[in-house]
Amino acid sequence: MITHFTNKFTGLIFTVSICLIMSCSSYDFSDVFSTSPANPQAGETVTLLYNPKGTILESANQIFAIVRTYGSKNYKPASMFSMPNNVIDTEKYKMKRKDTGWLIKIFVPDSVVGLVVTLNNETDTDYNEGLGYWVPIYTSDQRLLPGSEAGYAASLVRRGWGAVLDKTLYADTLLSFYKNEFSRNPDKKAGFAFSYFSALKKSKGSDGFAEIEANLEDLDNPDQWTEEHLFFLSAWYGAVKNQDKADYYKAKSREKFPTGRWVQREEAIEFYKKVGSAEKKIFLDEFEAKYPDYSGFSYMRGVIISEFIKEGSYKQASEYFKLLNGKTWSERPVFSAVNSIKETKNDELGLVLEIINKSVAVSRQEHDEPSASKPPLKISSIWQESRAKQLALALDASAVVTNALGNADAALTYCEEAYQLTNKKNKQVNEHYAEVLFENGSLDGAKKILEESIASGIQSPKMEEILKEIFVTSQGSDEGFISYYSDLKTQALDDLKAKIQSELVTQLAPSFTLSDTEGKEISLSDYMGKIVILDFWATWCGPCKASFPAMKKALNKYEKGNEVKILFVNSKETAEDKLQAVKDLMEKNNYPFHVLMDNKNEVFESYGVTLLPTKLIIDKAGNIRHRSFGFRGETELLDELEAVISILNS
């Protein structure tokens, strides 16, 4: 019996066949991972064989294969400002136990030149030391298909399957795949230019700039000067510090495409500098008339609705929403504004609820019957979870407004559905559910949600505040609350420590010397023997600034003991007067941070940082041990720092 699972994406039908009743064929499980046939071809079925003995999955009762298929070049991204990749699909499949191992049969479409496979059992994953198990596809005469080697390196993007991959650690290995590919198939270099340059830059740093420039010169053909190509040339010349060339191609783009996407994007920045709904709406009306094909209108419209809501102008928000007459708008800024609503029993809030309920209806339709195909970088279950989360956030916003209107029963219904849709794992949803229960007298219900959430590591200052109020109400005072709360967090902190311990790296931290905001030269070596936290940030970075109150608490906690030094490395700064912009931000917010000015972004690049904020924790011997990306919340950040520092001090 054969069961077929089909998944449509980008015009391709990818068929996976799982043999539910296996034949008597014998398989060789002598290697940890292998395939049958050994050199699979496109248009045929390949059997993936896995023997977990000696791996992290040795005792697993069920194993799944996450299979990423890739093509022979980088595909054009949805936006020319996005990073291209060559991924065709990523999917998760349940493997079948056979003899001493596990197997799965996969049909390989003609467009695929290779697969990357990881194995997991829901809690642990075998990444084959970080780069997955490579399955190249062969020609009929047993040669590697063109693009299979470079394609493998290019497919290991951070999103989706490769989210845990630190490409900086494996840059030299990945670069060798590109080199091998281009020696066999020189014509493939142009198709993998972006991915190749990225690997070259990570592997060699500034020593690779000359090679990148030489390749850029080969790609510079005026007959191919599309706006996308000119942006590519300008961006990469800028990345290798040739600002004259970067400016030249930018000027050529503006000259050739005066109303193009690049010009549009730069002018659109002014929208976010406008203050209040009135200024933003005037700008958007003029901008939309000038550039009717701009791709970012949806978010801008959502921002205007959110501004009306934050101003308490609910009637104007409703009127503007109706004027959109079916035009797209982004829910994210609207939901954020709804979360800031404090007033209650204002009848005009019902107008806001009408807007939110439109979002609920659309999100529910997308959850049940998605209008788009599955993104190639996501497995089906993760895609389903993302759609469930979108619906849950819409329901959560509806609950906030409904509760403010005094309809507690309806609000709790929305909260409960959102809570279940997110598997009780969304901080905002959990917090709001507990808050609505608490405000409406259900202290036991709120307590149960808060205790379960905090014990599982999902927590916020507001959750702690509500739980403390419940504790005081039941106990008559706050005596014993600290011990009670600490006990709740014990399991979550233990789990966090175990996770971090398993992910620790040991990589020599590049030395550097930078000037701080007082003009004093500071070197990493000045702090040898201490744990050093490098916090990479910029004044334009919202999540960076959002994390600073938490980092101020961390500073007060750890620097007193003189064993930890926190350095705030200002990188990728865009302010005209970088130093003054940094000083102004520190002074305005009373942040006592030790800020280093990475004006040339040299430390940013030498540490392989790719996004802001990024925090790197260096041990007393001068080794990078942990990397933290983005900002998820104050409690999460402080717990993460506490876990890492305690591990390094143990």
Q: Which two tokens stand for residue 46?
A: 């390949």
Q: How far, in whole angstroms, is CA 93 from its chain's centroid?
A: 23
Predicted pLDDT of residue 130: 79
Whole-angstrom distance, CA of residue 337 vs CA of residue 316: 14
Q: What is the pairing mode between strands 45-50 and 64-75?
A: unpaired
Torsion of CA 312, 316, 318, 319, to 10 degrees: 180
pLDDT category at 9 given cuts 50, 70, 90 is: very low
Whole-angstrom distance, CA of residue 154 vs CA of residue 175: 10
pLDDT category at 161 given cuts 50, 70, 90 is: low
- Nearest alpha-carbon partner for 620 in 536, 563, 569: 563
Predicted pLDDT of residue 204: 87
Whole-angstrom distance, CA of residue 110 vs CA of residue 97: 28
pLDDT tens for 220-232 read 999 989 999 999 9
User: 89 pLDDT exceeds 50?
Assistant: yes
Total length of the chain: 650
pLDDT category at 203 given cuts 50, 70, 90 is: confident
Domain borders along the chain are: 22-219, 507-649
pLDDT tens for 22-57 read 444 589 999 999 999 999 999 999 999 999 999 999
Instruction: Let me know: does 35 contact 83? Beta carbons within 8 Å.
Output: no
Q: Which helix (H) or strand (E) holds 507?
A: strand 507-508
What residues form DSSP beta bridges with 514?
A: 522
Task: Tell me which of 157-171, 369-383, 435-449, 545-559 is least confident.
Answer: 157-171
Q: Average of pLDDT values for 611-632?
A: 94
Q: Average of pLDDT values for 290-300?
A: 96
What residues form DSSP beta bridges with 103?
A: 49, 96
Q: DSSP state, 138? A: B
pLDDT tens for 490-520 read 988 898 999 899 889 899 999 999 999 999 9
Q: What is the pairing mode between strands 33-36 and 45-50?
A: antiparallel
CA quadruple 63, 69, 74, 77: dihedral sign: negative
Q: Which two tokens stand for residue 558?
A: 């750890």
User: 18 pLDDT exceeds 50?
Assistant: no
**Cβ-Cβ contacts under 8 Å for 601 (sequence gap 6 or more):** 571, 572
For 95-153, strand residue ranges (E) read: 96-98, 101-107, 114-120, 125-126, 133-136
Q: How far, in whole angstroms, is CA 254 from its chain's centroid?
A: 31
Q: DSSP state, 314? A: H
pLDDT category at 334 given cuts 50, 70, 90 is: very high
- On the question of a cis peptide bond just before residue 222, with omega within 30 degrees of 0, the verdict is no
- Nearest alpha-carbon partner for 467 in 443, 483, 491: 443
User: 538 pLDDT exceeds 50?
Assistant: yes
Whole-angstrom distance, CA of residue 328 vs CA of residue 113: 38
Average pLDDT for the chain: 92
Q: What is the pairing mode between strands 85-94 and 64-75?
A: antiparallel
Distances (CA, A) of 225 to 81, 85, 175, 372: 16, 21, 28, 31
Predicted pLDDT of residue 5: 32
DSSP codes, 338-400: HTT----S-TTHHHHHHHHHHHHHHHHHHHHS-SSPPPTTS-HHHHHHHHHHHHHHHHHHHHH
CA quadruple 421, 424, 427, 431: dihedral sign: positive
- On the question of a cis peptide bond just before residue 37, with omega within 30 degrees of 0, the verdict is yes
User: 523 pLDDT exceeds 50?
Assistant: yes
Predicted pLDDT of residue 19: 41
Predicted pLDDT of residue 561: 76
Distances (CA, A) of 90 to 151, 187, 382: 14, 27, 11
Please compute, for residue 161, the number of CA atoms within 13 A of its CA located in the half-sphere on the CB side: 33
Phi, psi of 86, deg, nearest 5: -110, 20
Predicted pLDDT of residue 202: 83
User: 8 pLDDT exceeds 90?
Assistant: no
Phi, psi of 626, deg, nearest 5: -150, 145
Report how far apart the first and last C-alpha atoms of the chain are (Å, whole number): 55
Whole-angstrom distance, CA of residue 445 vs CA of residue 433: 9
- Nearest alpha-carbon partner for 16 in 46, 41, 42: 46
Predicted pLDDT of residue 170: 78
Whole-angstrom distance, CA of residue 462 vs CA of residue 476: 20
3-class SS shares of the chain: helix, strand, coil, % to 5 = 50, 15, 30
Q: DSSP state, 41? A: B
Instruction: Let me know: does 375 contact 383? Beta carbons within 8 Å.
Output: yes
Predicted pLDDT of residue 10: 37
pLDDT tens for 395-433 read 999 999 999 999 999 999 999 999 999 999 999 999 999
pLDDT category at 344 given cuts 50, 70, 90 is: confident
User: 240 pLDDT exceeds 50?
Assistant: yes
Torsion of CA 430, 433, 439, 444, to 10 degrees: -80
- Nearest alpha-carbon partner for 320 in 351, 291, 294: 351
Record the pTM. 0.86
User: 455 pLDDT exceeds 60?
Assistant: yes
Amino acid at 485: Y
Whole-angstrom distance, CA of residue 533 vs CA of residue 620: 11
Predicted pLDDT of residue 608: 84
Q: Average of pLDDT values for 610-619?
A: 94
What's 507-649's CATH class? alpha beta
Predicted pLDDT of residue 164: 60
Q: Which two tokens stand for residue 352?
A: 């806001």
How much is the CA Rg of the chain, to the nearest whole Å? 27
Predicted pLDDT of residue 12: 36
Q: DSSP state, 445? A: H
pLDDT category at 4 given cuts 50, 70, 90 is: very low
- Indicate the burial class of 347 (C-beta count within 10 angstroms; 0-12, 13-18, 19 or more): exposed
pLDDT tens for 579-606 read 999 999 999 999 999 999 999 999 998 8
Helices of type H across 46-192? 148-155, 171-184
Q: Does domain 22-219 have CATH number 3.30.1490.190?
A: no
Q: Which two tokens stand for residue 539?
A: 């004044």
